[in-house]
Amino acid sequence: MRKIYHVINGERVPSRSGKTFFSENPATEEIIAEVAYGEAEDVDYAVESASKAFCEWSRLAPAVRGKLLYKVSEKLLERAEEFARAETEDSGKTYQSNLRIDVPFAAEFWRYYAGAADKIRTPVVANEFGIHRYAVREPYGVVGAIAPWNFPLVMASLKMCAPLSCGNTVVIKMAEQTPLTVTMLAELLLEVGFPPGVVNVVHGDGKTGQCLVNHPKVKKIAFTGSSAVGKLIGAQCAQLGKPALLEMGGKSANIVFADADLDLAADGVLQSGLGNNGQFCLAASRILVEESISDEFISKLLERVRRIKLGDPFCPSTNCGPLISQKQLDRVMNYIEIGKNEGAEIIFGGKRAEHLERGYFLEPTVFWKMKSGMRIWREEIFGPVIGITTFRDEEEAIELANDCDYGLGAYFWSKDVNRVHRVSYFLDSGLVFVNMPAYMVPQMPAGIRKLSGSGYNFGLEAIENYTKLKGIYINYSEQIFPWLS
C-alpha cells in the first residue's frame, strides 16, 4: 500500500499530528493508499512556504517561468502511462480515457499557459504632455486552490498552471478521494526545476480546505466543487475581503431540434450526459427533444445506452467505470428514488450493476417525462442520470433550457444556420456547444454564470482571475498642474 505525504517546501512531509486517512480504488473497494491528513499546522507550513517562495518566483522573467511550465507539459506526455494508471486506480475512470484524453488535455494546459507567461498585456491610456498613464497586472501572491475528484489531474493542472504563469505561488488541496496524481504532479514540478515552495500540496477534507480559505496569507481562492460548499467559501471570502474564483457545477440542457442529424445528436447526447458517469460539471442531464421526433430520437438514444459496458476500468472494452465512492453512489440512488416519486418514468437502468460484485457501479439511468418543477430537473445529481422532456417550438426550447439556476453550459443540435446563431445568442450560459459534445481547448475562455459561480476559466481571460490591475499616473513635467493645486 502506498504512503502519500504532503508536498511542502519541496519535500514530502507527514502531517504534524501524524494523522492519516485511507484512499480506496472505487472499482474494487480496496484500500490503495494511506494519506497524510492536513490540519491547521500543515496548512500554515504550506502557506508560509508559498509566501516565502513568492518573492523569487514572481520576480523571475516571465519567459523563464514559461519554460518551466513547458517542461511540465513535456514530462506529462513522457509519463502518460504512469499518470493514467494512477488516475484509474484513484478515480475509477477508464485507463484508455485517461491515457488518450485526460493526460494529454492536462499537458495542453501547461503548454498553453507556458506560452501565455510573457504575453500578459495591459492598457496604456492616451497621454497628454506632462503626465504618463499606464496599467500593470501584478500577481496576488499565494493562491489557495481547492479542486474536485472528477478530473483529478486536469483539475489540478488547471488550478496550478494559470496562476503560476502570472507569478503566483500555489497551495492546493485536492479532494480527499483522489490524492495520487496531484502528489505526482507536484513532485514532477520539482523534478523539472520549480523552486521549493512554489507549489505545495496539502491533503485532507473540508476542514483542511477551510483552514486554507481562512489563512491570512492566502490572497486568492480558486474553488471548483459543489454549490453548497462554494456558497460557504464565497461567504467566507467576502467577510475576509478575499477575492474568490468559484466554479460550482451545472445542470446543462441539451436541445435536439427536428432538423438535427439524429444519429449525430444521439451520439453527442450520450457522451455529454453520461460521459465520465455524469460526474462532470458540464454534464447535459436535461434532454429537450422536439415533439415530432421524440419517439425516433429516444429509440436511437436507448440503442446507444444499451451498448455502455461497465466493468474493470483497465479492461480495453470497458467504456464506463464506477462512481467515485459509496457516498456518491448513495446520493445518486437517492435522486433516482426522488425522480420516481416525483412522477418521472425510468425507461432504462436505475439500479446497481448486478453482474459486478464489488465497486460502486451504477447502470446508466434514463428518465422520461421529466418536468421543470422536479428536483431531478433543477438539482445537480453528478451521476449517470439523464431525463428527457419534449418541446413544441424554438421559443419553448429556449425557455426550458434557461429554466435553471445554473449557467455553465448548454448544447443543441440543428442544421439550420440561422437557428444556430439565434439560439446560441439566447441561451443564458457561459459555454454553448452546437452539434457537438463538450470539447474545450485552453485557448477559448469559459464564462461562469448564475449559480455556477463567477469568473473565467481558460484562455488569456483566465489571467484576469490571478492578477491585480494597478493604474499608474506619472507626472514628469516638474510642475503641479492647476487642477491639482
Q: What are 295-326's pLDDT values in tens digits?
A: 999 999 999 999 999 999 999 999 999 999 99
Residue 459: helix, strand or coil by DSSP?
coil
At residue 483 the predicted structure's pLDDT band, cuts being 50, 70 and 90, is: low
How far is Cα 478 from Cα 467, in angstroms, rounded to an integer? 32
Catalytic residue, from 24, 48, 89, 247: name it: 247
- The pLDDT assigned to 129 comes to 81
CATH class of the domain comprising 253-434: alpha beta
Residues sharing a CB contact under 8 Å with residue 238, sequence separation 6 or more, in sequence order: none
Q: What percent of the chain clears pLDDT 90, i.e. is strictly above it?
A: 91
What's the mean pLDDT when you consider all of the chain? 96
Residue 480 has pLDDT above 90, yes or no: no
Q: Pinpoint the residues of the chain covered by CATH 3.40.309.10.
A: 253-434
Among the listed residues 363, 301, 308, the one whose alpha carbon sits nearest the alpha carbon of residue 336:
363
At residue 94 the predicted structure's pLDDT band, cuts being 50, 70 and 90, is: very high
Residue 341 has pLDDT above 90, yes or no: yes
Mean pLDDT, rounded, for 358-365: 97
- The pLDDT assigned to 455 comes to 82
- Known active-site residue 281: yes
- The pLDDT assigned to 204 comes to 98
How far is Cα 76 from Cα 78, in angstroms, rounded to an integer? 5
- The pLDDT assigned to 479 comes to 84
Residue 51 has pLDDT above 70, yes or no: yes
- The pLDDT assigned to 484 comes to 55
Mean pLDDT, rounded, for 8-30: 98
Per-residue pLDDT tens over the stretch 168-214: 999 999 999 999 999 999 999 999 999 999 999 999 999 999 999 99
At residue 482 the predicted structure's pLDDT band, cuts being 50, 70 and 90, is: low
Q: Pinpoint the residues of the chain covered by CATH 3.40.605.10.
A: 2-248+452-471
Residue 175: helix, strand or coil by DSSP?
coil
- The pLDDT assigned to 477 comes to 85
Q: What percent of the chain clears pLDDT 70, i.e. is strictly above it?
A: 99
- Known active-site residue 176: no
- The pLDDT assigned to 247 comes to 94
CB 410 within 8 Å of CB 79: no
Mean pLDDT, rounded, for 361-385: 97
- For the ranges 45-54, 288-297, 399-408, 446-455, the lowest mean pLDDT is seen at 446-455
Residue 485 has pLDDT above 80, yes or no: no
Strand locations in 435-466, DSSP E? 446-447, 449-450, 453-454, 456-457
- The pLDDT assigned to 307 comes to 97
Mean pLDDT, rounded, for 477-482: 77
Residues sharing a CB contact under 8 Å with residue 230, sequence separation 6 or more, in sequence order: 223, 246, 247, 248, 249, 453
Catalytic residue, from 166, 237, 281, 404: name it: 281
Mean pLDDT, rounded, for 260-267: 98
Residue 44 has pLDDT above 70, yes or no: yes
Residue 231 has pLDDT above 60, yes or no: yes
Pick the CATH number of 2-248+452-471 from 3.90.25.10, 3.40.605.10, 3.40.50.2300, 3.40.190.10: 3.40.605.10
H-type helices in 315-378, by residue range?
Answer: 326-342, 375-378
Name residue, grid cell 496576488.
140
- For the ranges 82-96, 400-414, 437-451, the lowest mean pLDDT is seen at 437-451
At residue 447 the predicted structure's pLDDT band, cuts being 50, 70 and 90, is: confident
How far is Cα 43 from Cα 94, in angstroms, rounded to an integer? 33
